[in-house]
Each structure stands twice: as C-alpha cells, then as structure tokens.
Amino acid sequence: MKWTVIATWKMAAEGVKLAETALREAGTAEAALTTVITDVENDPRFHSVGYSGLPNQAGVVQLDGGYMDGGTLSVGAVGCVENVASAFTLAKQCADYQFNNFLVGEGARQYAIQSGLEMKKLLTPEAQMIYEQRKAQPESLSSYKGHDTVGVCCLDSRGMLASGTSTSGLFMKMPGRVGDSPICGSGFYADSDIGAAAATGVGEEIMKGCLSYEVVRRMQQGQEPQEAASTLVAEFTQKLIRKRGQAEAISLICVDKDGRWGVGTNIKFAFVVSDQNHSAKVYVAEPTTDGCVIRPWNVADQDVD
C-alpha cells in the first residue's frame, strides 16, 4: 500500500526518518505526524518551534499548533499557549471533542495541565541571549528570517490523510499574536477523499488566501499536487504584490490521496519527503515566474535549513 510523508524545512529530517520506519510497518498518519513534529519541538537547536523557541516582545515563548484528521475532518488547535512541551500534542487532543476544539492562552495551558500533558520552561539560555541581543537593537526589530513552522502532511497505508503544525511564531511578535499555523484552512488542512496541506512563512500573508484549503480544493478539481501548490503560491504572490505592493515569505506543501506530493514557494525553501519507494530526502524549492523548481539539498544550501 502507498504511503507518503512530507514536512517543512530540513529540521524535520530526523523526525521523517523515524516516521518512515513506522509507516513501513503500517503505522498511522496521526502517529507519523506526532513523531515528526514532536521530534522538532523537543530539539533545542531549532529556535522557531517548541523548546528553545524565540520569544515575543515581552520575552515570553508563546506556541501555536494545529491538527486535522482527514478521515473524520476533526480539527484541534491551540494559540498563545505557554509552558506546554508540545503545542501539537495539545492541539491533537483538542480534536477529540465535539466542541472546544480551539483553545488559546491561559485556558489552553490549564487544559494541558488537567490533561496531564508535559509542561516545560521553554525559554532556554541560548534563546534568551538571542532575545537580549535583539532587544538591545530596537531598530532591527523584525520577524525571524530563518526557518519557522514545522508543518507535516501524511498519507498512511490505510488511505488516511492528516496534517499538523507547530510553531513559536514570529520572533519579537506582539504578545497575543497568532499566525496561520493553528488556523484550519490557512496553516493546515486534510481530507482523506482528496489530499492534505500545510503552510509555513509569514502567517499574516498565508491567512489572506486560506492557502492550505485552497490547494486541497485545486487538487479536488483535478490538478496534480505539484501544479496545484506551485501555481497557487505564484499566483497569490502576484496578487499580493498587485494589491499591496509586496508579498512576504510563503511556502506550501501538500500530498494527495494517491500519495503524490507537491510544493509551492516564493522563497528558497527546504523540505523533506519519504514514501514507500524512497527513503527520507531533503529537497530545495526555488520560485520561478509561474511556479518553482525543485532539486536535492546540498552543502551549498546551508543558508536554508
């Protein structure tokens, strides 16, 4: 049976390798997402997700995360949650209920405690140092320009699709700011009858086009995943430039019900893919006028993790 897992950024490579082992043994899409995303969340080397995430303007790490089960269309999400080890795990748990699927702030934190989820001080000494250095240079306050959200889409051997995200959001964001990552249809979407998608980049841009839902809609209308993702990002980038004069970073991954994957981006973007015929491999996508070109990642691509 076919299976595929695709994830944003090179930082997801180790998690994808772990997930592919389970998927080869009939593991579920839900379990694969959890493996990939929590591996990134727990790794202090990555300052845009989970533990060691970079803080907001007040020096506080606030996390966002989302999950969607393509078999049931169940959705769970959390925003601005503090001191929770895995925003994704908390979001996934929120998907188990009929109501209260999107929790934010203190309410989300209290629910995590009541549910027995792991709590953790997220701001590490290294992240604190980066924050203090940036704070001392107010003229340079801007969003973090490295890799950001970890987003994952997975098709398992049962034909079930799922997608999920986790992020600490833009570095030096305003307290309370929420981007696209926990918003169903913008940061993630999955329907096992069609496909799944996840986005990364500047959430304020991605939300303007509900891009994760839109790429799944295009696949439903017959576009192959690569065509759907690459043309969508190119077209929407041009629309933003036409209407607003500029477009910030947007990248999109997707997979359809047949295990075919696609990527769209308006920046140099790294991602990881594995399927039943290919072990995990990191690729780089770069934008063109009407889409993007994709090639294997190499040591010259150290500028894009």
Question: Do the beta carbons of residue 101 and residue 76 sit within 8 Å?
Answer: yes
Q: How many CB atoms lie within 10 A of CB 101?
A: 18
Question: Do the beta carbons of residue 62 and residue 181 sit within 8 Å?
Answer: no
Report whether 76 belongs to an annotated binding site.
no
Report whether 179 belongs to an annotated binding site.
yes
- Name the active-site residue from 4, 35, 149, 167: 149
What is the DSSP code (8-state) at residue 174? P
Q: Which of 93, 66, 35 has its CA nearest to residue 212?
A: 66
Report whether 180 belongs to an annotated binding site.
yes
**Residue 56 burial (CB < 10 Å; 0-12/13-18/19+)?**
buried
Residue 149 a catalytic site member = yes
Report whether 291 belongs to an annotated binding site.
no
Report whether 202 belongs to an annotated binding site.
yes
Question: Do the beta carbons of residue 179 and residue 169 sit within 8 Å?
Answer: yes
Q: How many CB atoms lie within 10 A of CB 239?
A: 13
Query: How far is 266 from 198, CA to CA, in rounded Å?
Result: 15
Report whether 177 belongs to an annotated binding site.
yes
Report whether 273 belongs to an annotated binding site.
no
Rg (CA), the chain: 18
Report whether 201 belongs to an annotated binding site.
yes
Residue numbering of the annotated binding site for substrate:
177-180, 200-203
Positions annotated as catalytic residues are: 149
Which residues belong to the annotated binding site?
177-180, 200-203
